Structure 1
C-alpha cells in the first residue's frame, strides 16, 4: 500500500473477478517527481452491488436458487425516483451479477444501477474524486498536483481507406525528455550514418517496428498517452498490425494488453482502456475544455495555438508529399512524423490542458480521458448523495415522459444601426436558476408529494421541495469554488468548474442520462425565457429599448445617454435588486440571479435576415473600444465564418471599419469590384473545404467542393487529399492548381460582395447594384 500522508492522483482504476471476490486496482501517482513510477494499490475481496424491486423479490429468489447464483441481500430499503422500492443485492463476481441480471430482465424483472462497476462505485461512494491520501491506511479525499509523465504517438501510413489496413511507414514517439522515430525501411540504406544517429532509427520490418514501439512505451512508462485521433487511428492501426504480425501489443503497465470496446454512441468508433495509463485524444481534450476551432485538424489547431504547423510543403496534397518523402527523403520524412508528435505535446502544454484535465477529474471523479462525459460526471457527483437520502437512480430510458424541452430564449431583434448599445449578461444563468428555484431530481420527486407551501412551482407541472434537494447545494459549492479559483488566478480550475456547472442543464435534458426528465430541463429553460422577458420589461419601464436578447443576454439601446458605461452599471445594480425583492416577496426565495454589465458598443449593426425585413438572430457587428483602441466585433457574420472566401472576409472587415469611422463606403466598394474584375484579387477568391469522405462516395448530392475534387482526381490521378481549394469559373467549379477557365467574377460580386455590402447599405438608403453601376462609370 502507498505511504500515509502523501497525496496521490488516481491515474486509472480497474477491477477483475477472482476466486476470493472482486479485486480492485488503482494506479496512483504522487506529486514529487515525474520520474517516479506510478504505484499500484490493490483492494481485494470486494463485492458488486445493484438493486432489485422489493415487489419482485420472491421471483428473484426463485431465479437465484434455480440457477444456483450466490448472492447476498443487503439491509435497508431504497426508493427509486419513479416510486419503486428496492433492495441492494451483492455478488462476489461481476460476471455472475451480469448473468443473473440478464436472466431476470428476460423475465421482466426490474434491476437498477447494475451498470456501475465496482472500482467506480468504490471511489464514488467515498467521494474519492481525482486524488486521495492515506491516513492510518484508509483513503480520504484530497486535491493534488501530480507529476504526470506523457507520451505522444503519431504514425505515418499509406493513404487510409475504411476497411483496408494501410501499410505502416513509421512511428514517432515523443516524451518530455526523449524522441524517437522508427522508420520501416527494408533496405536500411536510405539514411547516412549521421542522419540515422540519434532520434531516427531504421527498422527492417513492420514486426520489428511494432516490437520496438512496445519496448519504448514500457521503458519510458508514461502515465498518459496522447495524440491526434490517437485512439481511432494510430493505436487502432498499430493494434491491427500487431494482430497481423502476431506481436503482443502490450502497452499497458505490467505489460498488459489493451481492452478495446465499441463506443455505444458511435458504432464505428472505439474506446480503449490501458492498465495504469490514460489515453487522451487531442481533439476531444480541446473540445472538453471549451476550445472552438472551425477545423479541428492538427494543422489548423497548431497554427491557431502555437503559430506553427506541420513540417511539409505541398499542403494541398499532403498525402502525395508524404509518399514522395518516404520514397525519396527519409530524413525529411522522419522529421515530419516527429514534428506531428511534438506538436501534440506542445499543444497540450500551451493550452493548459494538463491542469484542466486534472482539475476536472477532481471535480467529477472521472478519469482524465473521460473529461467530456457529462452524464457520467453528473452520475458520479450526484449518486452518492442521492444514496445517502435513501434513493437510487432510474436506469436510462425508464422515464417515459416525451414532452420536449425548449432551448434558450432568443428574442426577435430590431434591425438597424445604433449608437451606444449596451450588453447586460446574466452570470451563469442556468446554474443560477437551479440554485434559485431549487431545480433537482430528488427535489422534484419529493416536491410533487409535499404540501404546496413546502414546494416551489416549476414548469410542465413540476414542483420542487424547498428543503430536501441535492443539486442546488452542489451548484452552490461549485460557484464558491470558482470564485476562489478566480481569486487565486487558477484559470484551469475556474474553466473546469464553469463547464461542469453549465453541463448540468444539458444532462437533465438528455435521454441518455438516467436522471432525464423534461420537467427538470423545462423548469430551467422556460424559467430562463421568463427571466429574459421580465428583464426586458423592467428595462423598458426604465425608458430604454431592448433591441435583442439571446439566452442569457439583453441588448439595450442607451440612445443619447451622456454616460452609457455608467448607465450599464446602474441598470445591472437595479435589476439585481429588483430580482432579489421580487423573488423574496412573491416566492419566498433567495435570488442567485446576477446580471452584469458586460459590453458597451459605441456603434452597433443588427442586420436583417437576408432577403427579408425581419431582424437576424445571433448575427451582428459592433464597434468596441478595447485597450485604448477600437476594434470591430463580428458575431455570426461572414468575417468569422470558415465557408467564405478571404475576399469576403477582408471586404466585410474593411467595410464596417470604414463605416464605424464615419468614412464614405463608396470608394472601397467601387475599388474592390474594379480590382476583382481586373484580376487583381484572384488570390483572395479561393474557397476551402474539407472532404468528409472520398469524392466518389458523394452520390446523391455533389456540392461545389466535391465537383472540384472530382475534377482534380481526373486531372491528377492518384490525388488523395482531404482538403480542396477551388474557385468559381465561367466553366464551373475548378480546383487549384488546375484552373483552366477565367474566374466568374460576377459570381463573387453577386454571392459574396453584394450580400455583405447590402446588409449595411440598406440602413443608409443605398443599393449595392446601383452604387457599383454609378461608381464604376467613374473609373
Structure 2
C-alpha cells in the first residue's frame, strides 16, 4: 500500500454506513474522480453526520433520544441562530440515526418540539462544502490498484485550482412500449456506435450497415448494456430527458425482472430515488440531461423536444416524424426493426452533436467549479446559493435558519416597469445598468447575515426598505459578488465564453434565490430592499435624464429608453448616449457617497441604438404597453429587426403572423415610409392566405400545461384538438409538457396534418387584423383611414 497525491475532478458522491465486516465505524464517504491517471475511487471513513438544535432544548433532546435508543453526541460549537439563540451540534455515526432523530424531534407536540437546523444537508455534500471543494480536488491516502481504477482509502481531500478533466462521454437513448417494456438501447460516443435490440437477427443491406447486438429478451438486453458500458467505461452518460425517462424506465424494468443494474464503475449499482425531482446515483459516472442543461445555460426554445432543438440547432430532423411517434415505434419494432435501430441510433447522434455544438459539457464543468454542485445537478439555484453561502455563514458563528424563521408575511414587490409612451420614433437609445441587482446588493451590503447584524446595530448600518438595516462590515454576499464580477471580467478578457456565461447566470440568480420562499435564507426585507432600491434608482435616473432635456419613453427593471431628436445621425446619438452614461454614473457615485457614506458599484452603460423604434399600445387601448416593442439596429452596416414581447417573438402565434409582422415593420422602418405602403402588403397577404399559399404556416403551437384528465371546466383549443383526435385514434398518447400543434378548420380546431380545409377567416381576424390595428392605433392614424381599410381588406 503506497501513498501519493492525485489531482482529480469529482464525478459522483455517495455515503453509506459501515457494515459488520468493515474495519471502520461511522459513515463512509465515497467520491469517484476523473484524473489523468484514470478513475479514482476515494473513501473517507469514520465520518459523522450533523444537525443543530437550540442549546436550551438539549436536555429534552437527550431524554427523547435515550427513550428511543438513538445514539447521538452533543458538542458545543459556539454557533447561534439568527435570533441570537445559542445552538449546539448533534452528531450521529450513521445517517439512519440522524433521520430518526430529526423525525422524532419534529413530531413532538408543539410545546415540546425540538427545532432542527440544517437537518436536510447531506453529509457527502457538507464535507465538500465546508472545505470549499468545487469539482477539482487534491487527494491523498492509502493507495491500491484495482481492476480498472485506483482506490484511495483513509483519504484526505483539499480544494484544488480549476482543473479541466478529459471526460469520456457516451450518448444513451432507449426505445420502449407505452408500458415501458424495452425494445432497444442505443449507445454512441467514445469509440462505440451501436444499438442493442430485442429480436431475431435481421439481414442488413451492405449499403446500410449498422452495428446491432441482437438479444433474446429484456434480461439479455440489460446484461449486454452492462457489458458494453463496462467495456467503454464512460465518465459521463448524456441523453434527452435521460434521468426522468430513460434511466427511470431501465431501473423499473430491472426491478420488475429481478435484475441488478450494475452500470457504475466497480460494478456499482444504479440507484434512483423519486420525489420532487428524480435523484440518480451511478457510482463513478454522472448522467447529464440535455434539456436541464440547456435551461440552466439560459437557452430558450419554444419546445425543448429533441425534434425541435435538433432542428433549430443542427438543422436536422428525427427519423420518425409521425404525429403519434409511439405507435410508429411499436409498428417498427414489430415489422421493421432495422428502421427502429436507425431511429434509436440517430437520436443518440443528435444528442451528442447538440452537446458538442453548444459546449454543454464544458458549461456543466464550469458551473460545478463555481458552485460545487454535482455535474448532473441542474435547476439548483437555491442549492448553489447554499453551497456558496453556508460555509461562510458558519465561519461567522451562525447556523442557517429554517424556512419562515423571520416570521414575516408581506410580499416584496417585483422589478420596476415604467409606463411607456407609444409611437414611432426615429432614434431611441437604451441605457442599461450592468447587473443592477447584484450591484445594489454590493453597494448597499444586502446580505442575510448583514441584515441580522444591521438590525442589531442600526446606528452605523445602511438603511434598506421595510425596516431593514444592513451591516457595513459583517456580510458575505458583497465580497462574493465582487469576486464573481472580477472573475467574469477576466473570463471575458481571456475569451472564456462558457465561464463568463456561467458566472453571469449565478450572479443574476442571487436575487432570485433571496426572493424565493423555497430558500432557507428568504426574508422579504432582503428582497424588498433590492427591488425597491431598484425602483428608486430607475425613477431617479429618469428624472436626471429629463432634467438634461431628453424624453424617457420607457423603462424596465434595469433599462431606460430615451428618445433623441430625429435629425441626429447614429454617431451623434452614440456620443450623447455615452455622455449620458458618464453623467448618470457620476451622479450616483456622488449621491450614494453623500447619502449612505459608501461607494457606489452601480454602472449604467450605453447598450443599444434603435433607429427606428416602435412602442405599441396595449391591445385594444390607447395607453402604452409594457415589455413589448420592436426596433431596428445597425451592426456593421447590417440592419436587423429586434422584437421583444411582440407576436413575432412569441411561440403561441403562427408563422403567418410572424412573417406578416416582420414585413410590416421592415416597411414601416424605411426612410421613405408613408402609410399607403402598407396597403399592398395587406392585400397580398389576404390574397395569398385564401389561395392556400400559407397553409403550412397556420399552425398554433402550445405546451400542454396539465395532464389531459385535469382539463375539466376550461378546455383550451389545443386540448379540444387532442380529444377530437383521440375519438378517432384512441391509442394516441400525449403527456403533460409536450407541445401540441393544431389548426383551425371549417369543422373547428384539430391537430395539424396538412390535409385540412382551413378556416381562413379565423386567421384573418385573429392573426393579421390585430397586428395591423396595433400599428394604426400607435401611429394615431385617422379613424376614417382605419375604418376604410378594415372594411375593404378585413
What TM-score does the superposition give when structure 1 sets the normalisation length?
A: 0.93
1:85 offset after TM fit, Å?
A: 0.8
How many residues are matched?
Answer: 758
Which deviations, in whole Å up to 9, do the C-alpha atoms of 1:106-136 show, x marking residues without a partner?
A: 3301221222222211111111111112489
Contact 2:190 2:232 in 1 (8 A): no
Matches within 5 A, 1:552-701: 552-560=558-566, 562=568, 563-661=572-670, 662-663=672-673, 664-691=677-704, 698-701=711-714
Partner of 2:431: 424
Alignment-derived partner of residue 10 in structure 2: 10
Q: How far does residue 65 in structure 1 lie from its aligned partner after superposition?
A: 3.9
Distance 1:243 1:456 in 2: 59
CA deviations on 1:668-696 (whole Å, 9 max, x unpaired) are 11121122233333333233445567767
Match of 2:775 among 755, 760, 764: 760
Aligned partner (choices 532, 535, 541) of residue 541 of structure 2: 535
**Deviation of the 1:270 alpha carbon:** 2.1
SS at the partner of 1:377? helix
The secondary structure found in structure 2 opposite 1:370 is coil
Give how far 1:256 is off: 2.2
Runs of 4 or more above 6 Å deviation: none
Cα–Cα, structure 1 residues 645 and 66, in superposed 2: closer, same or farther, change >3 Å?
A: closer
Q: In the aligned structure 1, how far is the partner of 2:105 from the partner of 2:345?
A: 53
| Residue 515 (structure 1) aligns with | 521
Q: Indicate conservation of the 8 Å contact 2:174/2:185, yes or no.
A: yes
Alpha-carbon deviation of 1:240?
A: 1.5
Cα displacement string for residues 61-119 of structure 1 (whole angstroms, at most 9, x for unaligned residues): 33344444433332442111122210123222222222223223333012212222222
Following the alignment from structure 1 to structure 2, what is the Cα–Cα distance between the partners of residues 41 and 416?
65
Cα distance in 2, alignment partners of residues 339 and 618 from structure 1 = 40
**Does 1:747 find its partner at 2:758?**
no
In structure 1, what is the equivalent of residue 299 of structure 2? 291
Q: Does residue 770 of structure 1 match 2:788?
A: yes
SS at match of 2:28: strand
Shift of 1:193: 7.9
- Summarize the Cα distance change of 1:372–1:732 in structure 2 as closer, same or farther, 3 Å threshold: closer
In 1, Cα distance between the equivalents of 2:314 and 2:754?
32
Measured on the aligned residues, the alpha-carbon RMSD in Å equals 2.3
Per the alignment, in what secondary structure is the counterpart of residue 165 of structure 2? coil
Q: Shift of the alpha carbon at 1:309? A: 2.5
Q: For the structure 1 residues 90 and 737, does the alpha-carbon distance in structure 2 shift closer, same or farther, using more than 3 Å as the test?
A: closer
CA distance in 2, matches of 1:509, 1:711: 43
Aligned partners of 2:501, 2:258: CA distance in 1, in Å? 45
Q: Is the 8 A contact 1:441 1:520 kept in 2?
A: yes
Q: Residues of 2 paired with 1:694 and 1:112: CA distance?
A: 37
Give 3-state SS (helix, strand or coil) of 2:598's partner.
Answer: coil
C-alpha deviations, 1:33-79, integer Å up to 9, x for none?
A: xxx64201111112222222111122223334444443333244211
Aligned match for 1:133, one of 138, 160, 180: 138
Query: Counterpart of 2:421 in 1: which secondary structure?
Result: coil
Q: How does 1:350-369 map to 2 (within 5 A)?
A: 350-369=357-376
Q: 496, 512, 519: which is aligned to 1:490?
A: 496
Name 1:737's counterpart in structure 2: 753
With over 3 angstroms needed to count, the CA separation of the structure-2 counterparts of 1:322 and 1:691, relative to structure 1, is farther
Q: How is 1:186-585 mapped onto 2 (pairs within 5 angstroms)?
A: 188-192=200-204, 199-264=211-276, 269-312=277-320, 314-452=321-459, 454-560=460-566, 562=568, 563-585=572-594
SS at match of 2:426: strand
Aligned pairs for 1:89-128 within 5 A? 89-107=90-108, 108-128=113-133
1:738 is displaced (CA, Å) by 7.6
Cα distance change of structure 1 residues 197 and 765 upon mapping to structure 2, 3 Å threshold: closer
Equivalent-residue separation in structure 2 for 1:652 and 1:670 (angstroms)? 14
- CA–CA separation in structure 2 for the residues paired with 1:234 and 1:372: 19
Aligned equivalents of 1:771, 1:334: Cα separation in 2: 57
Query: Is the alpha carbon distance of 1:719 and 1:143 closer, same or farther for their aligned partners in structure 2, counting shifts above 3 Å?
Result: same
Where do 5+ consecutive residues of structure 1 fail to align? none
Q: Secondary structure of 2:355's match?
A: helix
SS for the counterpart of 2:43 is strand
Worse-matched range after superposition: 285-294 or 765-774: 765-774
1:388-445 C-alpha deviation (Å, 9 max, x unpaired): 1111111234333111111111111111111100111111111101100000111110
CA distance in 2, matches of 1:317, 1:190: 26
| Counterpart pick for 1:150 among 148, 169, 178 | 169
Q: Secondary structure at the match of 1:582?
A: helix
Q: Distance in 2 between matches of 1:120 and 1:348?
A: 27
